[in-house]
Amino acid sequence: MTNKVLYEKDGRIGRITLNRPDVLNAIDDELPGALAEAVARAEADPGIHVMVLSGNGAGFCSGYDLDHYTGSSDQNKAVQDMPWDPIQDYTFMWRNTEYFMSLWRAMKPVICKVHGFALAGGSDIALCADIIIMSRTAKIGYMPARVWGCPTTAMWIYRVGAEKAKRMLFTGDKISGEEAQEIGLIFKAVPEDQLDTEVETLATRIATVPINQLAMQKMLVNQAIEATGMTNVQRLATIFDGMARHSPEGLKFKRRVEEVGWKQAVKERDDGTYDWTYSKPIDELE
């Protein structure tokens, strides 16, 4: 297993840790598969009853590694030169979606501990877990909904319902752990200094339940959601994600990254100060 995701057995708890702290645990080509591999290890171990997923460093996960996926002059599987090959794109992104969904499909429960941030693709990962506990001041959101993305796991819909999901995806806003708890996106938000204790208390409690019982309860709840057509929605979301990166606005976003760097381009996108249709700051159009 790559050291980009760490795995440790701690009694009945399997600890899975995203481990690219120097780039805020950003997602590259290897991290999703390494995550799924760690989940598989916990699943195969009869001594593990529950998994705890967390991130090293300043936060949980900042999303896809934009320094690579937008800034590279070479082709990669997520951003292509035109003409765009949608099947190549879909194959790559669907693979990652399936890797993230290993958390959901595992028969053993997964608790996700979020400190700092779970943003963009990092929110996709977190929302695939069974239970999320955040620090109150941590941020979660899917900012590429503004330009250049669509959440491939579509978990916003299943956690908060249509209207609240639309509110998040129409704006691409980031919200605090406290607000995420208020809208029902996560289970609980606690002060930063209580986060570890809160997660450990719940994981330890769950770990006292037989694996068979845990598996039945998880499969029962998940089946109620999957029966609504979750896989079909995720396939559509994955297609839309590729389209968003190769739409006229998506290509202009990539060119803007090449002009000013991805940090500035992302700031303009997230602040709403740039018009991607006309490729100009909004205040120049007024």
Q: Among residues of the chain, what percentage have pLDDT more than 90? A: 90
Most distant CA pair in the chain, distance: 64
Asked whether the beta carbons of 149 and 141 are under 8 A apart, the reply is: no
For the domain that residue 58 is a member of, what is the CATH number?
3.90.226.10
Q: CA-to-CA distance for 64 and 85, rounded, in angstroms?
A: 20
Tokens of 158: 């299943």
Residue 37 pLDDT > 70? yes
Give whichever of 7-16, 59-68, 248-257 has the largest mean pLDDT. 7-16
Q: Name the more confident of 73 and 206.
A: 206
Asked whether the beta carbons of 30 and 2 are under 8 A apart, the reply is: yes
Mean pLDDT of 21-27: 98
Query: What pLDDT was estimated at residue 154?
Result: 98
Any domain includes 281 = no
Any domain includes 270 = no
Contacts of 120 (CB under 8 A, 6+ apart): 62, 63, 64, 141, 142, 143, 144, 149
Which residue has 């995550």 as its token pair?
Answer: 35
Any domain includes 285 = no
Which residues constitute the domain of residue 172?
5-246
pLDDT, tens digit, 9 for 90 and up, residues 267-279 = 999 999 999 999 9
Any domain includes 262 = no
Q: In angstroms, what CA-CA distances link 174 with 29, 127, 143? A: 25, 14, 7
Residue 49 pLDDT > 90? yes
Query: What pLDDT was estimated at residue 72?
Result: 54
Beta partners for residue 152, in sequence order: none
The 117-119 sheet, strands edge to edge: 117-119, 139-141, 174-176
Any domain includes 283 = no
Any domain includes 62 = yes
Mean pLDDT of 206-216: 98
Mean pLDDT of 187-197: 98
pLDDT, tens digit, 9 for 90 and up, residues 129-151 = 999 999 999 999 999 999 999 99
Any domain includes 252 = no
Q: What is the dihedral of CA 182, 186, 190, 196, to 10 degrees?
A: 180
Query: What pLDDT was estimated at residue 74?
Result: 56
Any domain includes 69 = yes
The mean of the pLDDT values for the chain is: 95
One-letter amino acid for residue 268 of the chain: E
Q: How many domains is the chain built from?
A: 1
pLDDT class of 80 with cuts at 50, 70, 90:
confident
